[in-house]
Amino acid sequence: MGEVVGAAILAHVPTIMLPKETRLELNEGKEISLVPGLEKLRKDVMETLDYDTVIVLDSHWATTVEFVITSHDHREGKYTAEELPRGMSQIPYSFKGDRELAESVVKYDEKNGTWITPISDPYLPIMYATVNLWDYLGKGLDKRWVSVSVCQTATTEDFLRAGRALGEAIRDSDRKVLLLASGALSHTFYKLRDLRKHEASDPSHIFSPEARAADEERIEWFKAGDHKRVLETMPEFMKYKPEANFSHYLTMAGAIGEEANTSKGVMYSDYENSVGTGQVHIYFPKPEGGFPLPKDMVLSRD
CA–centroid distance for 298 within its chain: 26
Q: What is the rounded CA–CA span in Å between residue 150 and residue 11? A: 16
How does DSSP classify residue 242?
A: B
Q: Which of 298, 175, 292, 149 is nearest to 231 (CA)?
A: 292
Q: Which domains does the chain have, with CATH numbers?
A: 3-285 (3.40.830.10)
For residue range 227-273, what is the model confidence (pLDDT) as tens digits? Answer: 999 999 999 999 999 999 999 999 999 999 999 999 999 999 999 99
Sequence-distant (6+) residues with CB within 8 A of 234 are 156, 246, 250
Q: Which residues of the chain have pLDDT under 70?
A: none
* Backbone CA torsion sign across 236, 237, 239, 244: negative
Q: What is the rounded CA–CA span in Å between residue 198 and residue 273? A: 8
For residue range 98-116, what is the model confidence (pLDDT) as tens digits? Answer: 999 999 999 999 999 999 9
- Quote the pLDDT of residue 216: 98
